[in-house]
Chains A and B, each alone.
Chain A
Amino acid sequence: MLEAQERQRFEQCVLPYLDAAFNLARWLLRDRSNAEDATQEAMLRAYRFFPSFRAGDPRAWLLQIVRNYCYTWLRQNRPHEDTSELNEDSLPSDTPSPETLAIASHDRQRIAQALEALPVHFREILVLRELEGCSYKEIAAITSHPIGTVMSALARARKQLRESLSTPLHTKESSRAL
């Protein structure tokens, strides 16, 4: 009886966030097929840990498990990827670039590639903020970073993404000269 109740509670509380789990895994691992395996493993793991989850935000809780699984996977399978935890001191100070750079192309593939080319922590924070719509507090809970670090990393991530999507200024200048 307990088993059925527990499973039903899991299905109501956690399983609705399957899309969120898969989307995060897909962008962290940059690969759909590995993301499917990771999501499945993380979901089963969440089911095992579920009795110890009593209160709080089930989405953040699930995404935390997905994230941990993905980082472990990356360390084992893609040792070149820098997965060392973010540290506020290692982030360059956030100076918003005053120049408004035109974003060159809007096609999905190019934007997806630019996002995938970001360091994993930046990618993660942008996916959680822009695709998943998480608040700073939720991102802090999922990634176990202080809110200050989330904010500076997000600013830095956006800057880097914008730079990689932008036409370099000199190209703009030369086309204007024509």
Chain B
Amino acid sequence: MPCDLAAAHLHAYLDGELDAAGAAGFERHLQSCAECASALNSEQTLRTTLASAQLYEPAPTLLRNRIHAQLPARPSTRTPFFRILQWAALAPAILLAIFLGRAYFESRANTDVLAVAAVDAHLRSLQPGHLTDVQSSDQHTVKPWFDGKIDFAPTVTDFANDGFPLLGGRLDVLSGNTVAALVYGRRKHIINVFIIPSSPRISPANSAGVRDGYHWLSWQHNGFTCIAVSDANRTDLAQLRTLFQAP
């Protein structure tokens, strides 16, 4: 007979939907229940299989362009003459919108390039021996390690009490920028948080996405652009962002 606890908690545990106490309880249960351990194992295999198939299909560029072209201006009931006057009056606003729109999409494109680089760097870091240059759960060891290696001082905080233990740090390169990478654990997952000083080239756009089955989430904090990448779920990344942004 399958275990009752499995039916109730297994998927919630797998999906990171249990609170810390619930997850710890289930992990204790896993030690003694071969049934649940094996069921969890097959769920994880399924998840890996799905992720490896790279099923996510982003919108084709042509569709994107078509939608941009078609976002309508609301139909006007005025006469053509009035409409021309109205458009003339709107001209500065339209130019501004085009300008802002371009700036926005350029910044998005930047972030996307950076996000792709971050996912690649995350994958590289998972190769044996590549995860950390300085391996320590002590923020007072990790932070000074960066001194002299990069020209900025990232904030390093251990969030072990909130379920995100600091595992260490390393230097990495994203799209030609040397960045600080902080490594956190989340249950059985590894999270890389890349920290880059914000600049006009690295523009402050907050975004999130999935690539090759890895989630990424970027945010701004104290003049830094932070990008978190992991196979942990998006909620976990959002939670880590909240911890980073806490005063």
User: Which chain A residues have a beta carbon within 8 Å of chain B's beta carbons?
Assistant: 1, 3-4, 7-8, 10-12, 15-16, 18-19, 21-23, 26-27, 32, 36, 39-40, 43-44, 47, 93-98, 100-101, 103, 106-108, 111-112, 115, 126-127, 129-136, 151, 154-155, 158, 161-162, 165
Contact = CB atoms under 8 A, between A and B. Distances in A.
A32 B64 CA distance: 14
Contact residues of A: prevailing secondary structure: helix
A129 B15 contact: yes
A101 to B, nearest CB: 7
Interface string B36-80: 001101110111011111111111100110110011111000000
B100 interface: yes
A23 B38 contact: no
Contacts of B113: none
Contact of A97 (B15, B39, B64, B210): B39
Interface of B: 2, 6-7, 10-12, 15, 17, 35, 38-39, 41-43, 45-47, 49-60, 63-64, 66-67, 70-74, 90, 93-94, 96-97, 100-101, 104, 108, 207, 209-210, 215, 233-235
Contacts, number: 147
A23 B50 CA distance: 15
A136 B35 CA distance: 25
B104 A1 contact: no
A85 B104 CA distance: 39
A154 B70 CA distance: 36
Given A39-B59, A47-B72, A133-B233, A4 B53 contact: no
A40 B94 contact: no
Given A18-B67, A19-B209, A43-B71, 18 more contacts: A4-B96, A8-B101, A12-B104, A15-B67, A22-B60, A22-B63, A40-B67, A43-B67, A98-B35, A107-B53, A112-B53, A112-B55, A130-B50, A130-B51, A132-B210, A135-B15, A135-B234, A136-B15
A108 B56 CA distance: 11
A8 B57 contact: no
B42 A100 contact: yes
Contacts of B42: 97, 100-101, 162
List 5 tightest A-B contacts by C-beta distance, closest first: A22-B59, A133-B234, A111-B53, A96-B39, A4-B97
Contacts of B11: 151, 154-155, 158
Contacts of A106: 49, 52-53
Contacts of B67: 15, 18, 39-40, 43-44
B55 A103 contact: no
Given A130-B50, A158-B11, A3 B74 contact: yes
B55 A108 contact: yes
Contacts of A100: 38, 41-42, 45
A98 B207 CA distance: 40
Given A32-B57, A39-B63, A111 B93 contact: no
Given A94-B7, A96-B39, A101-B42, A111 B50 contact: yes
B234 A44 contact: no
B2 A98 contact: yes
A26 B97 contact: no
B225 to A, nearest CB: 17
